[in-house]
Structure formats: structure tokens, C-alpha cells
Amino acid sequence: MSTPTVADKTIPVVRGLPVVGSVADLARDPAAFFVRSYLEHGPVFRVRALNRTLTVLAGPELARWMGSRDGQASLRSKEVWQGLVDEYGATRTLTGVDGPEHRRLREVMRRGYSREALRGRLDDVVAITDGCLDQDWRAGTAVPVVTAIQYMVTSQLGILLTGHAPREYVTDIRTVILYILNALVTEQRPAIVLKRPKYRRAKARVNELGRQMIRDHRNRPAAVGDARTLVDDIMDAHDRDPSLVSADDLVLALTGPYVAGLDTVANTLSSLVYAVLKHPEVLERVRAEADAVFARGPVTDASLADMPSINGAVMEAMRLYPIAVAQPRVADRDFEYAGYRIREGEPVYCAVTVPHFLPEFFQNPQAFDIDRFSPERREHATPGAYAPFGKGPHTCLGKGIADVQMTLTAARLFHRLDLALDPPDYVLRRKAAPTPGPTMGFRVRVTEVRRPGVSPER
């Protein structure tokens, strides 16, 4: 019998329910669903979800391929994000362009999204965090973790980027994220939901925030050196080259950090809080490390290196509870992957986090183990094994600032507060509509304030 050619091979289809396909599995736990499907069908399979059929690429070779010349020439992002662009009346967004145009926009925003943006401002992050802890995490109260951390993340990003914490816009930003990602990106909901008054009001408020950011920038003296922010870089790029960053693109670009960071950072930190509280031995190590760092005085870059357990907890939360489970793309041409032919125009999901749950890379992968990333073990170092920020040319631009933000926030939280799960035997419930993370019902009780905070105005 002759061996089938690439063109002859039929891509396996994951079994699903009539009509709805695998919608329920994707909504419940997409990471686990993609792992099961990969183990059953291999590195290429198709998934039916309502009226869509998605081609999924997976496996440890995927990350390398996405960054290769062949991978970059085979996938595009425009259609995935075009609905978002149209909804804002914009011309482009960073996530929705590829090739040289993507690289030019990425360079405009690179510094503002990187660790460089926090140079000399780590104590500001601590002070902002303390202000949120004092306001939302009082002794004796039961705290809705996801909501409280969303307020904290928005305050951090707002003050660091613009000098103002737009806490009053958190609910609006959250509503816009939910509706746009569900209706226009993942298409889990019909686009008609964007006509709902709740969404229209929230969108108007986010637009108002963006316009206020533009006015504030125009009304203050030009920033120089380390005082420059992402807002300064975007506005200067617009003034310098309106063809690259047009006036129609400003609101989307300026509010982008809130949209990108609200769910991703908040969901990861919320998952980390749960995992640490479930593991008392980890809590003891994290607390001792944080206490030692803050006892030495102002926080520096060296302080971050002195928190290996907290860094390990952040990395492990991103591995075990990934946010960017799969990167949606469209086939830009006919191409071959793992022996299968993918046709131009096919929706493609690149499930880069499947290796997070494979025992050949991570020992006992379902366990929360903060020592995986130690110099002695380095389980994440195998190429393709660890991809919490995605892979390829669209790797998350904000990973540098997010790492610092999550590490310092986690350290300060456990340094200042004694927390307990509420109820004590709570088992984390998660959702994926549209971003994977804990449900809003996850709460902790503040049993004691261990340390005083510092004033955000100091």
C-alpha cells in the first residue's frame, strides 16, 4: 500500500456534540481540552464550535515553527482582530498587523511595555499596591479576589502610564473586553450582542477615557528620560508619523494596556493567590522571602532577583493556569505542518501551552511546584516547553512589565496580609469566557493586616 501524500491526509476531527460541537469544553477549560485532543489526535486536529471549524496546531515543535521564517510567512492576524479595529473606527492595532508594519508598531511601543518603563519606579508600584490593599483588603472582610485585583492592576497601569488611576472605569473596561472578545475575536457570541445598551455605555466610557488621556498628554510638559511613558511614545509617534499611528488609532492604542492587562494579569494573580494559600509550605517560603526584601528598604532591581520563590510561584501560576492558551490566526497561504496540509484562509489556533501539561517536560504536571524553574531543574528551558506569553513575532510585548508587576504585587500582598480561603475548603472554579481565569465567586478572608502600608502620595 502506498503512503498517503500530505495532500491526501485527512485532518482528524475532535468528537463533539451535535450542532454545538466542542463549545462546552472550550468554555470550561480550553487548556485541558487542547491537551486531551493533542494526546488523542496528534499535533494537528480540527474542532467544531457552533458554526465554526477551527484547525488547531499543537505540540512542542509549534513554538519553534511559529518563530521560523516558514511559520511567519504562513500565518496572519488581520482577520482575528479586524472586528475590534472596526468597532473602534480605527485603521489598525498592534495585534492585527504582521510583517514590517507590525515590527514598526512594536518598536514604537516596546519601551513603554518593557521593564525599562519601571526603571526607578518600583517603589511606586509598592505604594500603589498598598493604596489598593488599604482600600479593598481590610481586616475581617471577605474579598472578591478577581475584582479586587482588577482594581489594583488598573491603578498600577494607570498611575505608571498616565499619573492617574482610572478605577471608575474598571467595570466599563471589563465589559468591553468581555463583549468584544466573545463576539468579535473568539465568536462565541453573536455580534448582535454589541447592540446591547450595557455594552454601548461601557464602550462610550472607554472612549471617554482614551480621549481624556490624549487631552492630559497635550496639557502637560513633555516628559524626558525615565519619566517617559507608553502614552508619550504613542503620542510622539503619532505626531511624527500619522500614517503609522493615525488619529483614529489613538484611543485604541492608549487604552490598550488596560484591555491587555486587566484580565491577563488579574486572572494570573488571582490563580496565584489560590495556589499559594492551598500550599502552606509555599506560603511560608513566599512570606519569608517578601518580609526579608521589604525589611531592607526601597525596592530595586536587585530586590526582584532576591525573590526566587515568588518568581517561581508567578511562573508556575502562568504554567498551570495559562491565560494565552492558544493564539488565533488565519492561514496566509497553503502550508504543511506535521505532515498535514493547511489551506489558505483557514482559521488556525496555535495551542502553544499544550506542553505545559506534558510529563516529558514537567514532572507531575498537574502539581503546583514553584521549584521547577530553579537553576538545578529548569524544566521550562526545553525549547517549546513553556509559552505563557505566546510565541512567534506576536509574543506578548508586555511580558517584561507584567513579570515585575505580578512579582511585586504578590510579594506585597503576602507581606502585608494574612489571608484564608473563604470557605477554607474552597476548590478553585474557573471559566473561559473569554479569558481563562477564576470565577468571580472566588473569595479570601483577610484575617489580619501583618504590616502597615506606605502612602501612595509619599
Residue 22 is placed in which grid cell?
466542542
The confidence score (pLDDT) of residue 2 equals: 45
φ and ψ at 451, to 5 degrees? Answer: -135, 150
329 alpha-carbon distance from chain centroid: 17
Please say if the pLDDT value at position 457 is more than 60: no
The arithmetic mean of pLDDT across residues 51-72, rounded, is 93
The confidence score (pLDDT) of residue 256 equals: 85
Q: Nearest-CA neighbor of 405 among 156, 65, 88, 93?
A: 156
The confidence score (pLDDT) of residue 6 equals: 60
The confidence score (pLDDT) of residue 260 equals: 78
- Tell the burial category of 296 from Cβ atoms under 10 Å away from its Cβ (0-12, 13-18, 19+): exposed
Q: Which tens digit of pLDDT belongs to each residue from 371-389?
A: 999 999 999 999 999 999 9
The confidence score (pLDDT) of residue 343 equals: 96
Question: Which one has a higher pLDDT value, 227 or 71?
Answer: 71
Measured at the CA of 266, the angle between CA 264 and CA 272, to 5 degrees, comes to: 105
The arithmetic mean of pLDDT across residues 160-184, rounded, is 83
Question: Which one has a higher pLDDT value, 223 or 155?
Answer: 155
398 alpha-carbon distance from chain centroid: 9
The confidence score (pLDDT) of residue 334 equals: 97
Contact, 312 vs 378, CB < 8 A?
no
The arithmetic mean of pLDDT across residues 17-40, rounded, is 92
Q: Which tens digit of pLDDT belongs to each residue from 391-437?
A: 999 999 889 889 999 999 999 999 999 999 999 999 999 988 778 89
The confidence score (pLDDT) of residue 1 equals: 42
Cα–Cα dist 259/206, whole Å: 10
pTM over 0.95: no
Q: Which tens digit of pLDDT belongs to each residue from 122-151?
A: 999 999 999 999 999 999 999 999 999 999
Q: Which tens digit of pLDDT belongs to each residue from 290-314?
A: 999 999 999 988 899 999 999 999 9
- Domains 1-88+325-395 and 109-322+399-458 equal at CATH topology level: yes
The CATH classification number of 1-88+325-395 equals: 1.10.630.10
Q: Where are the domains of the chain?
A: 1-88+325-395, 109-322+399-458
Banded model confidence at residue 50, pLDDT cuts 50, 70, 90: confident
Cα–Cα dist 177/312, whole Å: 29
**Strands 340-342 and 335-337, bridge-based pairing:** antiparallel
Q: Which amino acid is at 76?
A: R
Q: Give the three-class secondary structure for 295.
A: helix
Domain 109-322+399-458 in this protein, CATH class? mainly alpha
Q: Which amino acid is at 19?
A: V
Please say if the pLDDT value at position 458 is more than 50: no
Residue 119 is placed in which grid cell?
526603571
Q: Which tens digit of pLDDT belongs to each residue from 237-277?
A: 999 999 999 999 999 999 988 877 788 899 999 999 999 99
Please say if the pLDDT value at position 163 is more than 90: no
Please say if the pLDDT value at position 4 is more than 80: no
> What rounded mean pLDDT belongs to the chain?
91
